[in-house]
Amino acid sequence: MTHVDGETRVVAILGDPIAQAKSPELFNALFERYKVNAVLVPFHVPTANFGTVLEGLRGVVNLAGVVVTVPHKLLACAYTAHLSDAARQTGAINCLRREMDGTWTGAMFDGAGFVAGLHGRKHDVCGKSALIVGAGGAGVAVAHALIDAGVASLDLFDSNAASLQRLAGALRARNSRTVIRESTACAQASHDLVVNATPCGMRAGDTLPIDLTDAGPQTVVADLIMKPAETGLLAAAKARDLATHPGRHLLENSIEAMAAFLRLIPTLSTRPAAVDNADSAAA
């Protein structure tokens, strides 16, 4: 158990729901490993209260920052004075640093962490086809990161047509090499990589967010959900002998960069550009 005293730096994680979050476990283990007097604690914050809670946290002097999780990643941008390049590009944030004047500097690590996790498990996406289901904060970040990683084609699915069109338009505006298609119809997996970026699968009995009927033997099935570790989608993929990529790999490949961004552990010699850019933005 992390020791807490009057000098402990605090990090909050805000989400709705919050019980599925793995960040408290991983961050607090990281703080112990680095012998940092810091603790991350979960806050269950409904969307209607998000702005009020953030405004109140601005006044907490020993608050290092906030980890932002579902469904607040897009909303968080509206409360942020300084943005990293990745956060500005995606319009989403998953980490907020409290500056000395009480303003927030926001960064987005989901995309870089997801691709780093794929590469760490020898899943190269360059020149491959990909499908992302979900155009919320995490889905947006992963979509931009896959474009940067060189996917040949990217299919986007979301039931919200406005969110879907906004994401597809942003991707086309910054990349003309990747074939981008969007649809509100049923998501069929016939791709090299399929990604669930929705909350569907957090609860027992949830329907599968992606139809794996057409998945080929080369298909890698990824789910961004942290808990349960094996979602219904991943279990269905295993039953078809498909490679799976659980959500924990995203967080495990982001956590040190996030802690460095919050200035709680030493700066990493190699880390996502979002950290350097956000540091510069707040200088």
Question: Which tens digits make up the pLDDT trace of 58-92?
Answer: 999 999 999 999 999 999 999 999 999 999 999 99
Per-residue pLDDT, 1 = 53
Which helix (H) or strand (E) segment is 50 a member of?
helix 50-57
pLDDT digits (tens, 9 = 90+) for 198-215: 999 998 889 999 999 999
Reported pTM: 0.87
State residue 2's pLDDT score.
67
pLDDT > 70: percent of the chain:
94
Domain with CATH 3.40.50.720 in the chain: 111-249
Helix (H, G, I), strand (E, B) or coil at 108: coil
CA-only gyration radius of the chain, Å: 18
Judge whether residue 27 has pLDDT over 80.
Answer: yes
Round the average pLDDT of the chain to a whole number and report it.
92
73 is catalytic: yes
The two three-digit tokens of residue 31, written as one number: 């703080």
Structure tokens at 159: 């039931």
CATH 3.30.70.260, domain 111-249, yes or no = no
Q: What is the enclosing helix (H) or strand (E) of 182? A: strand 179-183
The CATH architecture that domain 9-109+254-282 belongs to is 3-Layer(aba) Sandwich (3.40)
Q: Which of 93-102, 225-234, 270-279 shows the lowest mean pLDDT across its residues?
A: 270-279
Under the banding of pLDDT at 50, 70 and 90, the label for residue 175 is confident
Using the predicted structure, report yes or no on whether residue 278 has a pLDDT greater than 70: no
Please give the order of strands across the beta sheet that includes 9-15: 38-44, 9-15, 63-68, 95-98, 104-107, 82-83
pLDDT, residue 185, reads 79
Q: Residues spanned by CATH 3.40.50.10860 within the chain?
A: 9-109+254-282
The confidence band for 268, taking pLDDT boundaries of 50, 70 and 90, is low
Measure the CA–CA gap between 104 and 96, rounded to whole angstroms.
Answer: 6
Report d(CA 9, CA 210) in Å as an integer. Answer: 41
Rounded to whole angstroms, how far apart are CA atoms 88 and 101? 21
Q: Is residue 214 exposed (0-12), middle (13-18) or buried (19+ Cβ within 10 Å)?
A: exposed
Instruction: Return the pLDDT at 189.
Output: 78
Identify the active-site residue in 35, 73, 128, 238: 73
